[in-house]
Structure 1
Amino acid sequence: MTSQSGRSQILATWQEAFTRLNANQPGITGLMNFTKAWKFAREYLYPIDINNPSTKVYAAHEVRTAFEVLGKARRLAAIFEAFLEDMRTQQHLITRDVNHHMSLHEETSDPRAVADLVYRLTEWHSAWEPGQEFGHQVLSAFNHTFQTHVFSVLPASFSSGFKSLIDMTLQPYLDKEESRSRGGEYPADLRLWAGFECLGMLERYESLISSVCYEAIEKHVWDKCARSWAEPELVNLREWITDCIVPWMLLPYARGARNSEEAKVMLQGVGARFDFHMCKTLCDLRIGEIFDIIVDYPDSKGALQDLKECLQRVDQRSQLVLALRRANARRLLHPGADTKDILAQYVSIMRCLRFIDPPGVLLHKVADPIRKYLRGRPDTIRCIVANLVGDKESGDSLADVDEPVQPLSQVQLEDYSDPNWEPEPIDAGPDFRKNKPSDTISTLVSIYDSKDLFVKELQVLLAQRLLLVQDGNFDNERRNIEILKVRFGEAQLQVCEVMLKDMTDSKRIDQHIQTQNECVLHSTIISRHFWPPLQGNKLIMPTQFKEVQDQYANGFAEFKPDKKLHWLPQLGTITLEVELQDRTIEAEVTPLEAAVIGLFGEKDRWTTEALTSSVGGTIEESAMTKALNKWVNLGVIKENEGGEFILLEIQEEGGAKPTASRQAVMEEAPSVMTVEQQQAEQMKVYWRFIEGMLTNLGSLPLDRIQTMLRIAPGYDKTVEQLAAFMEAARREGLVTVHGAHWKLNR
């Protein structure tokens, strides 16, 4: 049961409500007015069907009077709640139109069907929207309810249709020429964008709107910039955004701007996002093309400038390093690539990455696999040295023509007391040093830990080039030595100086001998202790050649009585006239080829074995075969069915008279031993030690063999050199390897 106080409270509340609704009028007059106003307001606010619009007209003063009565009675919130409930009962009308227009879109894929839906929804919104007298909060609640229902009934296909519609509005802006022909005016559908804003689609689908612009930027960047490397494209891309994208951006992002300054402020954030995306897209494109850009350097400097600016805007340095390392591994660092091509690409990588990143962090990260691979190639040093002493006219120098010749730089410890000292870049690795060699040649030489390997290869290459000089002009080699002195120092090049002096002294000695006693022989005299070992064999020249050598040696003994000549008859060239019964053949040949044809002057028939024995038992079969083929090609001898070679005093019918070029002779001539050959010859001295170890101790690992060889006199080889020698011995069948242990092959 309700207590007396409760009944009193209820009665007081009812009385207060009745007084408020009756508006202190006599009887129930005020209550009747309130009821009439409530009914009128419900009818006025009721969501109509715009397909069957009502013809009833409401007078403005009647509407204002009714809402004033409800306001005084504090029932506006209640009437709005009733209105929202009426909206829920009428929402099927909106759903029907949504399904109709989206069905059209799904059938035709025409974005204009989506535009018609937006226009239709805007009409529903305008028809149902309550008046401004309800205030901002009421209107906000109405918009929220209306948009919630609309978004809840939109099918999944609406997103793609909406995106197509946005793309359709953007396309007229992308044609720069068309926009200029219109005087800069664009067909902006303000009604459509007003509908988007009214329905809350600008906020809900902001990512879709942005994605349309992102895709347009990506397409333009790829179309205009792909494989276009000569000139920077970033400035042109930003001009394109200013001319084509920014006018369109005013519609979704700056519709409420009252002047250009307000529009600029409103577009600042989204404009920065689009500029960032453009830089990222261009950066991705250039990173994907980076290997070919480097190959095309210096004609691709424009692309490098773009990449440098984009990397400052977009942090994709690690992606650049990873992409370039993968491209190098796939397209450069493999057995099919020539060493000189790898070196040329490495030099281009240096120049390009130093331009992009002057501190050298990117180069340090990219170059490490290249340097390791080049270190494992046996001809890397030879290629670098050949470039150092090569002809400048060849145009393939690894060093930049504008790069001054300077001593090989050495890595120095950092001077922290330097007032201009700066810390290393934040992405530098623990083994990075800013003061690494900066010039190209120093960087290439620093692939190896010691300069001695390069100096030895320089001596070999210089010896080969000096021996090929026929006109006595050594100016080019003298210039090369002076340049190399700057790079390696005079002490390292003393042997090369002696070699060059030998050549000039040899020319002077030969001229003196010729003036005293003219001889058909011209010799090159070198110092045995200062020249690299020469490839050769114990060739025995026929008597007539021996007489010429003795005549020349006597002339030398008169001029240099304290010295004696030790002939290397296998080297050089000889000009011969071979007189046969019906013809005379002139040919410039090697000493071995001259010795072979000289033996045919003694008798007409020879076997290969007999010739090899007569000219020297150390002549290889391949060299003898090549010498015989030379005279066969000249039509001087022929091989019969029994394997004998017969002198052709009378030319056979159909026989040709080919001639041998001087260049061909020079290419076939034996040369100076390479550094690898010298090392192999030196290692042969220690084979007896290795053979004794494996005989007495059985199979041994390489480290154990290396340790025991260190007690041998003069042994200074590395484990890698020993491993190469043992591998060569394995190929010859002298040793076998199981696991990591080597043993003699019984």
Structure 2
Amino acid sequence: MATDALRAQVAAKWQESFNRLNRSEPGITGLMSFSEAWNIAIEALRPKDLSISPTDTTSSLQRWNAVKPSKQQVRNAFALVNQCRKLPHLLEVFLEEMRKKQPLITREVIMYMESYESTNDVQIVTKLIGRLVEWYEAWMPNPELGLGPIPTTTYTASFHTFLFSILPPTFSAGFKALVETTIRSPPHTFSHLWPIFESLGLIDRYETLIASVGYEFIEAHVKETCQQRWGQPLLPQLRTWMADTVVPWMLSPYARGAKNVDEAKVMMQGVGSRFDFHMHKTLCDLRTSEIFGIIVDYPDSTGALQDLKECMNRVDQRSDLVHALRQTNKRRLLHPGADTKDILAQYVSTIKCLRVIDPPGVLLYKVADPIRRYLRERPDTIRCIVASLVGDGESGDSLVDDNEPIQPLQQPDVENYTDPEWNPEPIDAGPDFRANKPSDVISTLVSIYDSKDLFIKELQVLLAQRLLAVTDGNYDRERRNVEILKIRFGEPALQVCEVMLKDMDDSRRTDQHVQSQKTSDMHPTIISRHFWPTLETSDLKMPGQFKALQERYAKEYSVFKPDKYLKWLPNLGRVHLELELEDRTVDADVPPLEAAFIELFSEKDVWAVDDLMSKVGTVPRSAALKALGTWVDLHVLTEDSEGVFRLLNVTEDTGARAPVPRPGAEEELPSIMSVQQQQAEQMKVYWKFVEGMLTNLGALSLDRIQTMLKIAPGYDRTIEQLAGFMEAARREGHVSVKDGMWKLAR
């Protein structure tokens, strides 16, 4: 039961409300005035059905039109309702009426979107948005009624909430297509749409989508205008395009309401920075994906490198560039199908390109490490580098730039903290960055290996081959190469090369003296055995007149230098022959083995391969067949049956006879054992030591084997050379390795 006090309180509240609504007028006159004002306000705010045709009216609408109040009466009605503090209740009734009429809008949205989904016509989306703004403006409380901003704000929020709840998922795609048309057209063409978008809340709702349109537009333009165009920097052109095309479009969605240029700049500062960043990022991504081709095309791709350097400073995608280049190198470069010379050329271009992008060399250090490790494992890497050093780049792809000054090999930089120009390491530098800081290209290539001694020995091998291949006695080119190499490696390292050059001069003078005493058709090259690389030997014995020539020359030489004797290497050199046959004369310049075989055919016309081989000493059967094939190809011999050859004193019709393939016409350099071959031969001497260790002590680590081998007489190999030797032994099945422990194979 309610208490008397509660009853009194409720009665007082009712009396207070009645007085406020009646406004203390006699009777209920004021209450009747409020009721009339309330009805007028309700009718003024009632949402209208825009889908009703002009001829379709209802009785309530007829009554409203019949007694339609004037604007002043409507304003007075709203003022009375507000005076009675019933405006919030009136707004609630209005929002409820709007909620009841919302199916009218929903029906039209469904109709338009079904049409768009079937046609993908962006004009339908434009019509839908125009229709929605008609509903929005028709239902909005008239600001002339003096209601203040709260009803308008509340209505807008409610309308937007309802609108976004009924728009289907496909609307975002249609709206995006519509925004795309605005950015691809002149700015004034669709300028009227942006105020509509703002009134419906579409700009705030789809802010990310609108930005994505700008991003995609920038991406498409960058790829279209910059892809595979590396010759000139394109960033200035892109910035001009951004200012002329993208910025005017950005004014409508991002600088709406700006009263002057300064306000527009302030409003677009954040989004403009993001768009500019995206332009740089897109170009950086494009150049990163093209970096392998850019390096291949260097120096014609310098413009792209300059753009990439500037983009890197803006977006900092250094790690992405390193990852992309390492992956591309692994897929396209560091595999058995790539020629070592091509790998070295790409490495040199990589050095030059990454120095443009990153002068401190951090990127180069990270990218070059896999290339250097792979080149270190290739057996012909040293030879390719050395061939370039001595100017053996007749093909035009030399690793050495003729415009670069010749300078000594540079040693790794030593940290000098007292240098006033000292700078700390870059933040992304590796722990060994200072020790491997890049210098000139040649020093970088030589630093692939721990010691330059390998290069010196390979230089000696290559110089020996080139000297022995000279037939005109002109060694000026080789002398020039040695002088250049002295600058790079120092004079002490090239002393052996100086001896080889001196040997060639002494050999020519010796031959001139011998020829002056007794003329001979033989002109041998006489070298010092202890100062030349190991020459490949064979058991070839020259028959007939060649043997006689050797003996006569050796006799004259011993007269000239009685304290020395000649040891012939008949497998080396060239022999110029003039063959006199019954119907023709054949001139040929051939290796000694071919000359030895054709000399034997002067004894008889038919020989079997085995018989020929027995006459010239121990030679491989494949080499013998190749030598005979040379004469078959010259139509001097013919193969009557397998392994049986006959001299053609008279030319036969050989049109139907398939000639034996002859060797290439280019002359090969004299056979000299490479540095790797020499080291392998020398390491075989120590195999017995290794075999004894593994037999007596069981599995051993590489470090333990190296330590024990140092006791062996004359052992001076590095642990890397030992590792290569053990790996070769593993491939041949002599040893096996597991977890770094080597043991004899069972």
1:461 aligns with 2:484: no
Q: Distance in 2 between matches of 1:188 and 1:262?
A: 22
Q: Deviations over 1:357-390 (max 9, x none)?
A: 1111111111111111111111111111111112
Quickly say closer, same or farther: Cα 1:127–1:597, change in 2 above 3 A.
closer
1:572 aligns with 2:583: no
Q: 2:413–2:435: 8 Å Cα contact kept in structure 1?
A: no
Paired position in structure 1 for 2:251: 250
Moved more, 644-653 or 270-279: 644-653
Paired position in structure 2 for 1:186: 188
Paired position in structure 2 for 1:106: 117
Paired position in structure 2 for 1:711: 711
Shift of 1:731: 7.5
Q: SS of the residue aligned with 2:667? A: helix
Q: SS of the residue aligned with 2:185? A: helix
Q: 1:22–1:28: 8 Å Cα contact kept in structure 2?
A: yes
1:36 aligns with 2:36: yes
Q: SS of the residue aligned with 2:589? A: strand
Quickly say closer, same or farther: Cα 1:573–1:26, change in 2 above 3 A.
same
Q: SS of the residue aligned with 1:578? A: strand
Moved more, 320-329 or 518-527: 518-527
Moved more, 386-395 or 201-210: 386-395
The residue correspondences of 1:196-595 to structure 2 (distance < 5 A) are 196-391=197-392, 394-433=395-434, 436-595=437-596
Q: Distance in 1 between matches of 2:393 and 2:337?
A: 27
Quickly say closer, same or farther: Cα 1:641–1:48, change in 2 above 3 A.
closer
Q: SS of the residue aligned with 1:587? A: strand
Quickly say closer, same or farther: Cα 1:16–1:500, change in 2 above 3 A.
same
Amino acid at match of 2:86: R
Q: 2:630–2:663: 8 Å Cα contact kept in structure 1?
A: no
The residue correspondences of 1:644-663 to structure 2 (distance < 5 A) are 644-652=644-652
1:115 aligns with 2:116: no
Shift of 1:111: 1.9
Amino acid at match of 1:297: Y
Amino acid at match of 1:129: M
Q: SS of the residue aligned with 2:529? A: coil
The residue correspondences of 1:635-674 to structure 2 (distance < 5 A) are 635-641=635-641, 643-652=643-652, 667=667, 670-674=670-674
Shift of 1:43: 1.8
Q: 1:359–1:434: 8 Å Cα contact kept in structure 2?
A: no
Shift of 1:142: 1.2
Amino acid at match of 1:243: D
Q: SS of the residue aligned with 1:298? A: coil
1:124 aligns with 2:126: no
Give 2:149's match in structure 1, choosing from 118, 132, 136: 136
Shift of 1:602: 3.7
Quickly say closer, same or farther: Cα 1:121–1:727, change in 2 above 3 A.
closer
1:62 aligns with 2:73: yes
Quickly say closer, same or farther: Cα 1:204–1:693, change in 2 above 3 A.
closer
Paired position in structure 2 for 1:164: 177
Amino acid at match of 2:188: Y
The residue correspondences of 1:672-691 to structure 2 (distance < 5 A) are 672-687=672-687, 689=689
Q: Distance in 2 between matches of 1:728 and 1:65?
A: 106
Q: Which runs of no fewer than 5 residues in structure 2 stay unpaired? A: 55-60
1:624 aligns with 2:624: yes
Amino acid at match of 2:78: F
Q: Distance in 1 between matches of 2:518 and 2:295?
A: 61
Moved more, 711-720 or 257-266: 711-720
Q: Deviations over 1:468-492 (max 9, x none)?
A: 1112221211111111111111111
Amino acid at match of 1:95: T
Shift of 1:354: 1.3
Shift of 1:553: 3.5
Q: 1:702–1:723: 8 Å Cα contact kept in structure 2?
A: no
Q: SS of the residue aligned with 1:270? A: helix
Q: SS of the residue aligned with 1:534? A: coil
Q: Distance in 1 between matches of 2:654 and 2:13?
A: 139
Q: Deviations over 1:139-193 (max 9, x none)?
A: 11111111111111222221112112212222224xxxxxxxxxxx631341x22
Q: Deviations over 1:181-237 (max 9, x none)?
A: xxxx631341x2222111111101111111122222222222222222222222222
Amino acid at match of 1:122: V
Q: Distance in 1 between matches of 2:5 and 2:731?
A: 117
Amino acid at match of 2:208: S
Q: SS of the residue aligned with 2:403? A: coil
Q: 2:412–2:435: 8 Å Cα contact kept in structure 1?
A: no
Q: Distance in 1 between matches of 2:652 and 2:72?
A: 133
Q: Distance in 2 between matches of 1:314 and 1:715?
A: 54
1:48 aligns with 2:48: yes
Quickly say closer, same or farther: Cα 1:385–1:35, change in 2 above 3 A.
same
Paired position in structure 2 for 1:177: none
Q: SS of the residue aligned with 2:408? A: coil
Moved more, 151-160 or 542-551: 542-551
Amino acid at match of 1:157: T
Paired position in structure 2 for 1:21: 21
Q: 1:537–1:619: 8 Å Cα contact kept in structure 2?
A: yes
Amino acid at match of 1:121: L
Q: TM-score, normalised by structure 2?
A: 0.90
Q: 1:403–1:439: 8 Å Cα contact kept in structure 2?
A: no
Quickly say closer, same or farther: Cα 1:472–1:9, change in 2 above 3 A.
same
Quickly say closer, same or farther: Cα 1:570–1:155, change in 2 above 3 A.
closer
Q: SS of the residue aligned with 2:131? A: helix
Q: 2:255–2:267: 8 Å Cα contact kept in structure 1?
A: yes
Paired position in structure 2 for 1:93: 104
Q: Which runs of no fewer than 5 residues in structure 1 stay unpaired? A: 174-184
Q: Distance in 2 between matches of 1:358 and 1:388?
A: 25
Q: 2:636–2:649: 8 Å Cα contact kept in structure 1?
A: yes
Q: Distance in 2 between matches of 1:455 and 1:275?
A: 53
Q: Distance in 2 between matches of 1:19 and 1:27?
A: 10
Quickly say closer, same or farther: Cα 1:2–1:333, change in 2 above 3 A.
same
Moved more, 229-238 or 379-388: 229-238
Shift of 1:400: 2.9
Q: Distance in 2 between matches of 1:259 and 1:669?
A: 80
Paired position in structure 2 for 1:182: none
Q: 2:609–2:644: 8 Å Cα contact kept in structure 1?
A: yes
Q: Distance in 2 between matches of 1:332 and 1:262?
A: 54
Q: Distance in 2 between matches of 1:744 and 1:153?
A: 77
Q: 1:468–1:666: 8 Å Cα contact kept in structure 2?
A: no
Q: Distance in 2 between matches of 1:97 and 1:666?
A: 85
Q: Distance in 2 between matches of 1:128 and 1:484?
A: 91
Quickly say closer, same or farther: Cα 1:643–1:234, change in 2 above 3 A.
closer
Moved more, 474-483 or 404-413: 404-413
Q: SS of the residue aligned with 1:576? A: strand
Q: SS of the residue aligned with 1:172? A: coil
Amino acid at match of 2:112: H
Q: Distance in 2 between matches of 1:702 and 1:578?
A: 62
Identity of aligned residues (%): 60
Give 1:75's match in structure 2, choosing from 86, 95, 101: 86
Shift of 1:582: 4.2
Question: Aligned residues, how many?
Answer: 729
CA RMSD of aligned residues (A): 3.1
Q: Deviations over 1:501-556 (max 9, x none)?
A: 21122223323333343332222221111100111213322353344334434444
Amino acid at match of 1:331: R
Q: Distance in 1 between matches of 2:640 and 2:31?
A: 141
Q: SS of the residue aligned with 1:414? A: coil
Q: Deviations over 1:679-703 (max 9, x none)?
A: 2332343455567678x75986684
